[in-house]
Structure 1
Amino acid sequence: MFNIKVNPRKAKQNLDLQSLSKEELIDRVQQLESHVIQLRNLLKPKSVPDKHEMKQKAFDHKKYVSYINIFEHVILNFYQILLFIFRYAKRHVLLQVAYVGWDYAGFVVQEHTEKTIEAEVFKALEKTRLLESRETSNYHRCGRTDKGVSSFGQAISIDLRSNLSEGKGVFIPDGHQAKVGNTVEIDYVGILNKVLPPEIRMIAWAPINQSLSARFDCRQRTYHYYFPKANLNIERMRVASQSLIGEHDFRNLCKMDVGNGVIKFDRRIIDIQIEAIDDDKTNSYSMIRLKLIGQAFLWHQVRCIVAILFLIGQGKEETTIIQELLDVERNPRKPQYGMASEIPLNLFTCTYSDDDCQWIYDAESLRYVISGYQTLWAENSIKATMIKEMLNSLEGLVDDKIESQLKGLVYGVEPKTYLPLMERQKCESLEERIHVYAKRQRIEVIETDANCP
């Protein structure tokens, strides 16, 4: 380890850092980072020369001590700058995070992979030095989207560095100080978007009270699910979906997470809409959007609902099957069926009270986001158009009308002879699962919060 000593002259230089502007400070950090890279390259062992060219060289102690002194100076200055940055005031804010999650292992950080949305967000927050650490950031997320799921309106609440000394959500932690007189806040959205991967973008931010949580104070969540019309009877799906509206026990329309102590499955659906997106509503390739609004959702609830609606739209189940599955007294055990794919699912909006949250949008940042997402759209639209033209040519070679666009959107092997849901093998009941987990002492049974997504 280096034994760093600070003489009065160096101490004065470090104190002068507090007089630098934000832009000057950032430039200084970048310069020091460049110096560190240069020094690393300088000290990096050179490639071994040919054995005929190898000569024994005397060890230069003066040069080595000189390198140590340089490193001491760089580390000291960099450390002082970081201390200066972290002495800023902080602000509790909401961030609206959009992401195309198809190639990610979900939103939440995981031990076995770094390929998650949350991991990338915190990398960006640390790289831009907007926070000290996740542990001290008062962080909450609105929803836990699974592998492959996307979002336009995911929300997180967090404490970030602030340029201001007062205002909604601004506070000065012990040992910190704010620069008085600043009137312009940090451009959180613009700064983060410059360092995030192209699939992940910040859309807006909002100053909020320190007590507000992105998870527990969310009023309602809206999910979108996109799928081709194929051979679906959309009107039958609309009729059946109306039975979902209201408060129900959705244990037969979700994946029961009893292993984590979840034993209450009552949730409230506010509204559900199934509408065509394309102008040509009769084409089997036209796209349909299912819009589901609720206060909170259970694990895989939306994907299970979509899977059942697909069966209804294909005429394999009656529209009353939804009511039967919601009647947990008559049907306490969930029939086995495959869930719908995660790829078309999007957590589209997370809604908060207008008194609590006023989103701030920046025109320049939005143009940057639009430009980047247009590139992603072009890449995927070109692929879809190419395959569609190949399909047009292939379909001209056969007489039958083939409508299997939904194949692959529901997990599981499609049997040759369809077996109605209520005649299938049933899963364990909720009570049976609770008994098994409690007997193994793997859970302490608790009731989940009504706002748990």
Structure 2
Amino acid sequence: MAAAGSDGEAAALVAEVDALRLRVQELERENKRLDKIASRCTCGSKDDSASTSPVVSASLCGSNQESKNIKSHCKGHQVGVVSHCPKRLVALKIMYFGQRFYGFASEAHTEPTVESEIFKALERAKLLVGSRKESCYSRCGRTDKGVSATGQVISLFLRSNIKDAGLEEMQKAASKFIGEHDYRNFCKMDAANVSNYRRHITDFNISAYDQRSNYDELWAITIKGSAFLWHQVRCMVAVLFLIGQGLESPCVVDSLLDITKTPRKPQYNMAPEIPLILRSCLFDEVNFLCSSEARIALIEHLKDEYHQYMLQAAIFHEALSCLSFPASYEERVAKIRTKSADSV
């Protein structure tokens, strides 16, 4: 019995040693992998080099797709870049007290610096558009450890809330609708009455309208097709609006038209119904008749309605021009100083 017990303990020890040996081998492989990653790391370099890295993002169609984003290294922290966002060049005037900083410029092994804190703040605010080189980053000067500043200035491209209407992108996406496609992802499903969701679009054009004001410019989207599904036009236009705002790329239309890739319609809001007009319905060998009296009466009625809406628009325009906002504290002080100087 004692011999049997000793044999069992020996076998257990051998098994434990084998397990430890395998664990050591796994750790050695992991160590080699980490060494390779560390050898490619540029976090400590003075040049702001950028490397591409795939970032998974959720698209409108609900499936995950890989889009190449750039990650820049700003002394110890990584910055995710969204390249399609609008941007503009800005100059920032900065005040800082240097007692707790190792100077202004970011250098290796000298945290914190004013520059590194600025980029961390810009990252948290989601304002960065690329690496420092891509953002055309520049500074007026650099200060040493402990030195303060009340008027330091830096400039770089940042994300902007001034959104351009991406008309070219919208027209590019609109052209993808032309032809015969399955539009089940661009309509409200009516399974009780509709089994075929294929429709043929012959023309899809975006053009400037001849009406504009000081505040807005009107554009018209003209769509021609053999037939349309329930809410198909409003759904197509809604996706175009997302593309025009830079929230989606034109390729999302391809994804939504591919029912094997996107078998179910994603959730998104339809375009409003007020601007939508059913312009005409055409039939072969059918001519509609309208008497001259009825035509004249209809024209006069539409003119009256048009003038009424023009009058309402003029009233709202006048209301907008009459709006005044109280002057800021700085403006009031400047006005008082100007009056004082004139009186002297």
Tell me if TM exceeds 0.5. no
TM-score by length of 2: 0.45
More strand by share: 2
When Rg is computed on C-alpha atoms for both structures, the one with the higher figure is 2
Q: Which has the higher contact order (CA 8 A, sep 6+)?
A: 1
